[in-house]
Amino acid sequence: MAYPFQLGLQDATSPIMEELLHFHDHTLMIVFLISSLVLYIISLMLTTKLTHTSTMDAQEVETVWTILPAIILVLIALPSLRILYMMDEINNPSLTVKTMGHQWYWSYEYTDYEDLNFDSYMIPTQELKPGELRLLEVDNRVVLPMEVTIRMLISSEDVLHSWAVPSLGLKTDAIPGRLNQTTLMAMRPGLYYGQCSEICGSNHSFMPIVLELVPLSHFEKWSASML
């Protein structure tokens, strides 16, 4: 999860988030190089008295500053499109979880099980135990197996919400009357926090998401105890 004064993105837990981090660094380096070049040219223009009379008529220079930006855009677009297709791809999910947004809590249903569903409310500040995080802890965590492809079906029963878990690279809108889907796969166990990322009313800030990723054997024991 995020920590105070953090400048970068959260540590990646899923393969998709790792790809997003690499793309972020790739694009940031291109922006840094362009900014450095522009700053260098501006500083030269302000400090030197030398001029070149034929610069305004140079066809070669115009060709370069037309083709070079096009090449840079291609270098950004190709990896971006690759990641977009990877995020939309669903390969035989082993588990499906349906989540519904409400004002102002989430409800979850494990559709592969006959009667496994619950609501997830934020724990009020005055009821927090030592070590628990304010505005992020819930009474019922979403327990999921790690190293397994999981399909999340996301919708809403009232207004627009957004189901987002940054460390997994997930952010999907919950729209009334529409069923959106996304996939997740965590490569290591742990607690992963998220929040509703769409302004949905007065208590928008009080809709946390907590995913508890555990080994498959632990998940089977948990699911058996919940039925």
CA distance 10 to 12: 6
Higher pLDDT, 218 or 63: 218
Report how far residue 23's alpha carbon sits from residue 37's, in angstroms, rounded to the nearest whole number.
Answer: 21
Angle between helices 59-88 and 15-47 (to 10 degrees): 160
| Domains contained in the chain, CATH given | 15-88 (1.10.287.90), 95-226 (2.60.40.420)
Q: Say if residue 53's pLDDT is above 80.
A: no
pLDDT band at 57 (very low <50, low <70, confident <90, very high): low
Greater confidence, 189 or 4?
A: 189
Closest to 153 (Cα-Cα) out of 106, 120, 219: 106
Mean pLDDT, the chain, rounded, equals 90
State yes or no: pLDDT of 219 exceeds 70. Answer: yes
Q: Which residues are CB-contacts of 65 (< 8 A; sequence separation ≥ 6)?
A: none
Does 4 or 33 have the greater pLDDT score? 33
The reported pLDDT for the residue numbered 56 is 62
Mean pLDDT, rounded, for 46-75: 81
* Average of per-residue pLDDT across 53-65: 74
Please compute the mean of the pLDDT values over residues 160-189 and round it to a whole number. Answer: 93
Instruction: Determine the Cα–Cα distance for residues 106 and 98; give it in Å rounded to an integer.
Output: 10
What whole-number percentage of the chain has pLDDT above 90?
70
Does an H or E element contain 183, and which?
A: strand 180-184
Question: For the chain, what percentages of helix, strand and coil (3-state, to nearest 5) are there?
Answer: 40, 25, 35
What is the edge-to-edge ordering of all strands in the sheet holding 117-120?
A: 117-120, 105-110, 95-102, 150-156, 180-184
Per-residue pLDDT tens for 118-139? Answer: 999 999 999 999 988 999 999 9
Q: What is the pLDDT of residue 51?
A: 67
Instruction: Render pLDDT for 65-122 as a digit per residue (tens, 0 to 9).
Output: 889 999 999 999 999 999 999 888 887 899 999 999 999 899 999 999 988 999 999 9
